[in-house]
Structure 1
Amino acid sequence: MSVPAMLTGNTKVAKTPTNSKSWGLVVLLLIFFTMNFADKAAVGLASEQIRESMNLNAAQYGMLSSAFFWLFAVGAVVLTAVLKRISYNWAAGILMLTWIMSMLPITVPTTFGVLLTSRILLGFFESPAHALVQSILHERFPPEKRALAGAIVNSGSSVGPLLAAPALTWVILTWDWHASFILLSAISILWLIVWMAYADKLPFFKPKTMAHAKQDVYDSNADINVPFSRLLMSRSFWGLAALSFSGYLISSLKVTWLPAFLHEGLGYSSETVGLLVPIPYAVAIIILISAGVISGRLLKRGYSSRVARSFLTAGFLLFSGVCMMLFAELPPGPLQLVMVVAAFSINSVAFTVGFAGASDFLPARQRTAFFGCIIAVYSLAGMIAPLGLGIIVELASTPTEGYANGFFIVGILICIFGVIGGLLLDPARERERLLLLTKKFEAENALRG
């Protein structure tokens, strides 16, 4: 049985031709997502200079790091609701413009209050980015190619810090931490100019008119029509939320505390940290794309979407959690560094393979809002983890002890939420349930009519 048939039963659906324009879109969105994560990494790379220039302790720096996520959940829900009424070219362009405006105040010497406000606003405006790019990709690619296309774009979460770590570290050490945001703002302006110049040539559709869009838009779930609230009450919603929460525990600590941990906890110099930090991001790209390929091949070979999406994601997350608990207990050395790299290289699998699983049962018109609500839930990990680790480090007798205790606790949480999410997310079963609900609502409406 073919993948589309396997996922949609007897429903006849149009298939999307995957042409060069679709893959060109992937490249542009990869750069977009790269910038999305490069500015997150900047604060972590400049943690030592920021703490020294503003006289911050570990708990205060943890609060600054978590501030990025204070309005993240609000933005994920509110902005995705707004952006779904705007064409994709304008939505991405407007988001990039707001990122630039949020970073400009900290390109010059400023106060802690201004820096805190800048991070809060940047978090608010960056929150819908993942939902936006995944919605675009999932409408342009059939099920067996979604995970790979999403993996390539999501690799920007690793490419951004991978490129940013050595470049921004050099900029910070040569000038100061403000100069790093000048560089990021300049690159973002260049992307915005290119995007707006060529966006009209790209294969975009307005989400609000998706029902009347061209037939090459792949929506294998167009026959599902249920109230959005029913999607939020489903087991699979909370399963994907748990998997994403587990992954974001890793993401948030990687961009905020990994450089400080390598410097304070393990004793590496700032120059060496600039060379070590990119390693987990480089490995993450390989793992992310490999996971996307594996997921697609499992579907082609007839495995259920639960195996290819849910169990695969949960397995990666469990591996990451175990590695984090191990490096927290190991003495400094090569083996510990291997465990650190392994632990921090898994996070994006949840946001690629897991999200592809959700698209296996979601109608296209409801994907962006659904993904926005998932982001709102998992952003809590970004709010809690950096602040919690900062408090643990501050209360410990030594930074090394504090980091060890904090990362061990986080490793346990990653495993717990990974298992819960893997058990709850079941795309095929969810699709069957939603089809039954659709028939029920149609019958009720017919009786009323």
Structure 2
Amino acid sequence: MEKLNSKITKKAWTMILLLFLMIGISNVEKAMIGYASVPIMDELGLSPTEWGLIGSAFYWMFAVSAIFGGSMADKMGTKHVITIIVVLWAAVQFSTMFIYSLPILLLTRIILGIAEGPSYALAMTAASKWLPKEKTGTGLSLVSIGAPVFLAVSAPICIYLITHYGWRSQFLAAGILTLIWLVLWIFFGKEKPDTVEEKQTLQVSSNTKVSFIPSLFSKNFLIVIICGFTAYWSMSVFMSWAPNYFATVLKLGNAGMSLAVTMPGILIMASQLLFSMLSDRIYRKTGSMVRSRVFVMGPVVLIGGLAYFLGSLATTPALAVTFLSLGLTMGSVILVLGPAIIVEIIHPQHHGKAQGIFVAAGSIGGMVGPYVTGVMIEGASNMGTGFHYAFYLMALILAVCGALVWMGIRTKKEKVELEAVTNLN
């Protein structure tokens, strides 16, 4: 097989850096409301139910905006749509400085959810335009890990600002940071490669209009959508409920809790980079999307399901934390290899809306997962049993998703080749 050209240009690295920063800022702006929950509730006199409303409001229009933003990017270009949504991010951060009532706070969260909805899909779409296929997995991982990196760095900074300057100060700082990024994006962000050297390793879109409907209802894309739902279910359940499980069931102390909360972020960064690099390496050698993306993601997600199952059976807190963290970690690989598969199975004219649908499906999993988990915990004979039922369910969902990917995603050409190899054996 002819060796593939895997060069990433300097402009492509600039885009990856800008998109890494964008994803990082996006996730910090999502998380800041949680850091300031106590002083905001005290100042505005909010009840737990009202605060729960604030938390859910962010997702009310999230899925719709993810699909709409992705569709607009296919028509207007990712640079223009990203510019628009980031302007909205900055406006929300600065307007939060003047919040003194529940309705206004609620409105800002709804607007931020609308503006944040397309962000991950747009970042994946924009980055994929600059990456040769055999480097797509690694490139998208480098963008994606902006989230855990920024969350780890920003948490102590935000808490310091809240403690010394009041809860509004962190929103002011975030607004200024967002504007700085926006200026860099306007000057250095590019829509797509514009030189022969930059285009030589990339797939160039045809001017002929290609219908999205056949791809939308194809088996391959439907499986990828299920993957998005699964990944966000896993992450939202872990983030919403795992700290509670560690504290109330495992009885971890402060030191143990710190380690248990920090470990998943580190493992997610490592696993996304490791498995995306492995996937890209296989792609360079075989040129096969199935062998490099599908045969890596499927087994990894299956292992994630097994890890959740073992975590619920663990007899010591250390083993429980380790296995549950591994379950989350393996499931998170979907967030980079899923978009990489979309790049392969969907025509470039529709990458934006396809990535948007992937994120929209994920947001539904993010809304449903924590609620179902809460129902299971409340309906069980005790909290420990309820948590274990929830982890069993998570194990089953990941296992089914992994099996669907491993056995179900095929291109026509590679399906014939794989069947031929099987018959020979």
SS in 1 for 2:76: coil
Kept after mapping to 1: 8 A contact 2:63/2:117: yes
1:230 is displaced (CA, Å) by: 0.8
- For 2:131 and 2:162, how far apart are their aligned partners in 1? 40
2:332 pairs with one of 343, 348, 367 = 348
List per-residue Cα deviations over 1:243-285 (Å, max 9, x = no partner).
2222111232344444444445544567875664232112211
- For 1:167 and 1:400, how far apart are their aligned partners in 2? 34
281-290 or 414-423: which moved more? 414-423
Report the equivalent of 1:387: 371
Kept after mapping to 1: 8 A contact 2:72/2:81: no
83-92 or 132-141: which moved more? 83-92
Alignment of 1:211-226 (within 5 A): 215-216=199-200, 218-219=202-203, 222=206, 226=210
- For 1:401 and 1:395, how far apart are their aligned partners in 2? 10
For residue 54 of structure 1, what is the amino acid of its counterpart?
A: L
Report the equivalent of 2:342: 358
Q: 1:283 to 1:172 in 2, by over 3 A?
A: farther
Identity of aligned residues (%): 21
List per-residue Cα deviations over 1:143-168 (Å, max 9, x = no partner).
10111111110112322322234434
Alignment of 1:351-430 (within 5 A): 351-395=335-379, 399-427=383-411, 429=413
Report the equivalent of 1:442: none
Report the equivalent of 1:204: 191
Kept after mapping to 2: 8 A contact 1:256/1:386: yes
Q: 1:315 to 1:431 in 2, by over 3 A?
A: closer
Q: 1:250 to 1:124 in 2, by over 3 A?
A: same
1:109 is displaced (CA, Å) by: 6.1
1:88 is displaced (CA, Å) by: 3.6
Report the equivalent of 2:321: 337
1:329 is displaced (CA, Å) by: 3.8
Report the equivalent of 2:47: 55
1:345 is displaced (CA, Å) by: 2.1
What are the ranges of 5 or more consecutive residues in structure 1 without an aligned counterpart? 5-14, 433-449
For residue 81 of structure 1, what is the amino acid of its counterpart?
A: S
Report the equivalent of 1:150: 140
SS in 2 for 1:140: coil
Alignment of 1:427-446 (within 5 A): 427=411, 429=413
For residue 247 of structure 1, what is the amino acid of its counterpart?
A: A
Report the equivalent of 1:227: 211
1:49 is displaced (CA, Å) by: 6.8
1:204 is displaced (CA, Å) by: 2.4
Q: 1:405 to 1:361 in 2, by over 3 A?
A: closer
| TM-score, scaled relative to structure 1 | 0.79
- For 2:380 and 2:93, how far apart are their aligned partners in 1? 33
Q: 1:316 to 1:162 in 2, by over 3 A?
A: farther
1:288 is displaced (CA, Å) by: 0.6
1:100 is displaced (CA, Å) by: 2.8
162-171 or 293-302: which moved more? 162-171
1:119 is displaced (CA, Å) by: 3.2
1:126 pairs with one of 116, 130, 155 = 116
Report the equivalent of 2:59: 69
SS in 1 for 2:356: helix
Kept after mapping to 2: 8 A contact 1:166/1:278: no
Kept after mapping to 1: 8 A contact 2:260/2:321: no
Kept after mapping to 1: 8 A contact 2:210/2:347: no
List per-residue Cα deviations over 1:30-75 (Å, max 9, x = no partner).
0101112223333555667777863316xx7666544433322211
Q: 1:316 to 1:220 in 2, by over 3 A?
A: farther
Q: 1:408 to 1:183 in 2, by over 3 A?
A: farther
What are the ranges of 5 or more consecutive residues in structure 2 without an aligned counterpart? 417-425
Report the equivalent of 1:319: 303
Instruction: Count residues with an aligned counterpart.
Output: 413
List per-residue Cα deviations over 1:390-441 (Å, max 9, x = no partner).
3444555655554443333223222222322333322464899xxxxxxxxx
Q: Which has the higher contact order (CA 8 A, sep 6+)?
A: 1
Q: 1:235 to 1:228 in 2, by over 3 A?
A: same
| TM-score, scaled relative to structure 2 | 0.83
- For 1:332 and 1:38, how far apart are their aligned partners in 2? 33
- For 1:402 and 1:62, how far apart are their aligned partners in 2? 21
Q: What is the aligned-residue RMSD (CA, Å)?
A: 3.6
1:381 is displaced (CA, Å) by: 0.4
